[in-house]
Structure formats: structure tokens, C-alpha cells
Structure 1
């Protein structure tokens, strides 16, 4: 029996099988004239699962009037594409038993991950740095004790909006330290975090799945050109060393933000071990080291490919377990 998990985000849709043999990361922006319905139909025809477990965060996309409209759109796209049994994970990490309160399905991908980590690892802070956001989830006695909505988690330092690919550098930096001195940055969307991490070698072109800010390519020189614009310069005005410094400033600031959130959650919940996942595991490991916490890597336990799509994998595993109990 093949059980597939699908994590439908506003920008990326992640796919994984319960045995970990299938892992896919698809860039499907919902706020545009989205191809989600046809992309899901293609997945259904190609993978032909016996059961599908679904988690979502895409309901927050601003093409929807509210979360309820977004949830209904995603559920319709899924239900119309797949002929197999479909189950949805809610914000407790469990499968929804009824359709009376579908708002509990909103932004529940982290809860699926927390359920699996709670069962297989135990008490910890589960940290998943994806393309757009960072989840910092306290797990105690095998269950998450986080807020149930993005709003509540933002209030509790369990979520902050910075990721490995799509974050506008102007949202992270006010100034950067360059050879000529401290320089303010422009507030335009000239470059994103993917450009910085490509420059630093933390990701490669294959992982740069989102669109570029200028619609140009993803080679090193393209990334450098975009990074230079962050300080209103071009490649005739700023050296490669300064562009590298700018990228290092980005990484340093993001690790600092991660440390702030992790330490706040650790203190509030009396936890001191981190479990890392996502495209940004390299940042989580740095943050854990600075804070003096042990860090357990999902990439080391399961695989790098599974780590990058962990909520989808966790949802598929939950369905597999329940069907085989």
C-alpha cells in the first residue's frame, strides 16, 4: 500500500511517501493564476496512491478573502484530483474527524511534523526553517504545546517570517557592514535570501525553487547583481568581497533571529534540545551551537531529501501507522 503526504503552501507544495522513497518540492504559487488543481491531478495520475494525507498553509495567500475561502479552494483541488481516501491533518497533529470546523486545518503542517517528532524523538524544540518561514515548536510528553494558529504562534515566538529562499532582504537588514563602512539598505524587493545563500554556497541552483526578484537567472553573477542593488549599487561600484560581506550579514541576522525565538521558547517550556528540519538546517545547527543546545538532525536520521519536505513525510507516516494499527 502506498501512502502519500502532500503539504500545500502558498508558494511550495511538498510531496513525500511514507517509506521516504518519494520526495518532491514543487514551486506552485497560489496567489497567481495557480496551476494547483492541474498539478495535483498530475500527481494523482503519476503516483496513484492508496491513501493521501494532506496538510496546508496556503490558505493565507492574499488571493483569498479569508482563510476559510483558501481552505475550501485547497480541499476542492485535492478532492477533485485524487480518487483514493483523503485525510486532512488539523492543528493538533491529528486527522480531522469531521468537516464542521475546517479552520482547524489552517497552517497545520508543523503539527504533523511535531506529532512524528514527539512519537519518535520525545521532548524537544522542533525547528523547521523552510523557504519562507521558521517554525519553533515546543514538544513535551510526546505532544506539541504550541499555539494552534499562526497568529498565536507569532505572539509566542513559535513562528517568525524568515526563510531560506523567499524572504526580502530588506525585511531582515537595516544596515550592512561593507569595506567603505556601515551602509543603509534600500526597502525595495531587490534580492531575497536565496540570493544570499547561493552566494555563500549554502544552497545550489536546484534548491533555488522560487522566482527571482528581477525575473532574471539564478547563476552566481545574477545573484551578485541582485545583492548589489540592495545597497543601490551595481557590479561596477561594489566588489565581490563586499557582496559576500552583505550575504554574510544576512545569514548572521537570520541566525540571530532564530536564536532569539529558540531561546524564548526554550525558557518558556524548560527545554534544551533542538530537532532540526527544512532547507535551512544549516542555520539551525549554528543557532543551537551558539545557545549551547544539543541538535538532532532529521536529515541525519531520515535523509536530507525527507528533511526538506518533512511535514509531507510526517503526514504520510501518520496515515500509514493508523491504517496498519
Structure 2
């Protein structure tokens, strides 16, 4: 039986099979004239799954009037694309049924991840740095003890709205150190975190899946040009060393912010072990090292590609386990 998990975000839709042999990432920005229905139909035709397990975060996209409209659009797109049984995981990590509120499906991808982590690893802080956001989720007695909405998790420092690719550098920094001194930065979307991490060698061009800020390419020169604009300069006004230093300061600030938010969650819940996942595992490992916390890498345990799409993989595994052990959902 082929079981696949699908994680439908605002920017990326991720696919994974329960056996880990199928791993796909599709850039499908929902806030534009989205191709989600057509893309899901193509995925269904190609993969021909027997069952599908779905988690989502894309309902927050500002093309929808509210989250409920977003949830309904995503569910309709999935249900019309697949002719097999489809199931949805809510923010408690359980499968949705008609007695539940649809709104419980909002922003629930992390709940699938933590259910699998809780059952296979145990108490820890699950940290997943993806393309757009960072989840910092406490797990105790095998279950997450986090807020059930993005709003509540932001209040509790369990969600840090910065990621490895799509974050505007103005969110992370207000000044940078350059050869001429401390320099204010512009608040325009001239560059994103993907530019910094591509230049530093932490990601490859293939992993730079989102659009660039200026619509140009993803070469080293393109990346440096965008980073120069962050301080309102071009490549004739600022040195390559300064541009590399700007990228390094982006990385340092994001790791520091991760340390700060993890510390809040750790102190509140009495936890000092991290499980790291996502495209930004390199940042999580460094944060754990600085804090003196044990760090278990999803990439090392399940594979590097699975780590990048872990909520989709977790959704598939949860459904597989439910089928093999019915009644234990």
C-alpha cells in the first residue's frame, strides 16, 4: 500500500511517502494565481497513492478572507485531486472527523512532526527551521504541550517567524557592521535569507526554491548584488568582504534569535534536549552547541531529504501506524 503525506504551506507543498522513498518539494505560492489544484492533480496522477495524509499551514495566505476559507480551499483541492481516501491531521496531532472544528486543521504541520518525534524519541524540544518559519515545540510524556494556533505559539515563543529562504533581512537586522562603521539597513525587500545562506555556502542553488527579491538569478554575483542593496549600495560602492560580512551577520542574528526563543521554551518546560529538522538544521545544531544542549538530528536519524519535508513524512507515518494498529490513533 502506497501512503503519502502532503504538507501544504503558503509557499511550498511537500510530499513524502511513509517508506521515505518518495520525497518531493514543489514551490506553489498560494497568494498568487495558485496552481495548487492542478499541481495536486499532477501529483495524484504520477504517484497513484492508496491513501493520503494531509497537514497544512497555507490557510493563512492573504488571498483568503480568513483561515476557514483557506482550509476549505485546500481541502477541496486535495479531495478533488485524489480518488483515494484522504485524511487530515489537526493541531492536536489527531485525524480530523466531522465532530471536530475545521479550524483545528489550521497550521497543524508541526503537530504531525511532534507526534512522531514524541513516540520515537520522547521528551525534547522539537525545532524545525524551514523556508519561512521556525517551530520550537516542547514535547513531554510523548505529547506536545504547545499552543494550538500560530497566534498562541507566537505569544509563547514556540513560533519564530523567520526561515532559511524567504525572510526579509530587515526583519532580522536594523544595522550591520561594514568597513565604514555601523550602517542602518533599508526596510525594502531587497534580499532574503536565502541570499545570505547561498553566499555562505549553507544552501545550494537547488535548495533556493523561492523567488528572488529582484526576479534575477541565483548566481554568486546576483546574490551579492541583492545583499549590497540592503545597505542601499551596488557592487561599485561596497567590497566583497563587506557583503560576506553582511551575510555572516544575518546568520549570527538568526542563530542568536533561535537561542533566545529555545531558552524561553526550555526554561518554561524543564527541557534541555533538542531534536532538529528542516532546511535550517545547520542553524539549530549551532544553537544547541552554544546552549550546551544535546541535539538529535532528524537528518542523521531519518535522512537529509526527509528532514527537509519532515511534517509530510510524519503525516504519512502516522497514517501508516494507524492502519497497522487500528484504534490507537
Q: Residue by residue, what CA displacement relative to the aligned partner does 1:115-158 show, whole Å, maximum 9, x if unpaired?
A: 00000000000000000000000000000000000000000000
User: In structure 2, what is the equivalent of residue 164 of structure 1?
Assistant: 164
Structure 2 equivalent of residue 137 of structure 1: 137
In the other structure, the counterpart of 2:259 is 259
Q: For 1:37-52, what aligned pairs fall within 5 Å after superposition?
A: 37-52=37-52
Structure 1 runs (4+) deviating above 3 angstroms are: none
2:319 paired residue number: 319
Aligned equivalents of 2:224 and 2:107: distance in 1?
34
- Give the secondary-structure state (helix, strand or coil) at the position aligned to 1:214: coil
Spell out, residue by residue over 1:20-76, the C-alpha distance to the aligned partner (whole angstroms, 9 max, x if none). 001111100000000000000000000000100000000000000000000000000
Matched with 2:120 is 120
Equivalent positions of 1:200-219 (< 5 A) are: 200-219=200-219
Deviations 1:192-248 (A, max 9, x none): 000000010000000000000000001111000000000000000111100000000
Partner of 1:307: 307
Structure 2 residue runs of 5 or longer lacking an equivalent are none
- Alpha-carbon RMSD across the aligned residues, in angstroms, is 0.6
The number of residues matched between the two structures is 325
Counterpart for residue 146 of structure 1:
146
| 1:288 paired to 2:288 | yes
TM-score normalized by the length of structure 2: 0.98
Q: What is the distance in 2 between the residues matched to 1:62 and 1:75? A: 17
Instruction: Measure the CA separation in 1 of the matches of 2:94 and 2:222.
Output: 44
**Structure 1: distance between partners of 2:73 and 2:156:** 29
Please give the alpha-carbon distance, in whole angstroms, between the structure 1 residues aligned to 2:240 and 2:26.
32
Q: Secondary structure at the match of 2:207?
A: coil
Unaligned runs of 5+ in 1: none
The answer for the alignment partner of 1:225 in structure 2 is 225
Cα distance in 2 for residues equivalent to 1:20 and 1:98: 30
Aligned to 1:206, the other structure's residue is in SS state helix
Q: Whole-Å Cα distance in 2 between the matches of residues 193 and 74 of structure 1?
A: 28
Work out the CA distance in 2 between the residues paired with 1:87 and 1:139: 24
Task: Give me the TM-score of the superposition, normalised by structure 1.
Answer: 0.99
Q: Hey, what's the Cα distance between the residues in 2 that align with 1:159 and 1:251?
A: 18
Shift of 1:324: 1.4
Secondary structure in structure 1 of the residue aligned to 2:33: coil
The residue aligned with 2:13 is 13
Deviation at 1:320, TM superposition (A): 0.6
Structure 1 residue 99: Cα displacement: 5.8
Map 1:54-93 to 2 at 5 A: 54-93=54-93
Task: Report the Cα distance in structure 2 between the residues aligned to 1:64 and 1:96, rounded to whole angstroms.
Answer: 22
CA shift for structure 1 position 97: 2.1
Range 86-95 or range 99-108, more displaced: 99-108
User: Partner of 2:4: helix, strand, or coil?
Assistant: strand
Residue aligned with 2:205, SS:
coil
Once residues 32 and 129 of structure 1 are traced to their aligned partners in structure 2, the CA distance between those partners, rounded to angstroms, is: 24
Partners of 1:138 and 1:280 in 2: CA distance = 18
Instruction: Give the corresponding residue for 2:109.
Output: 109
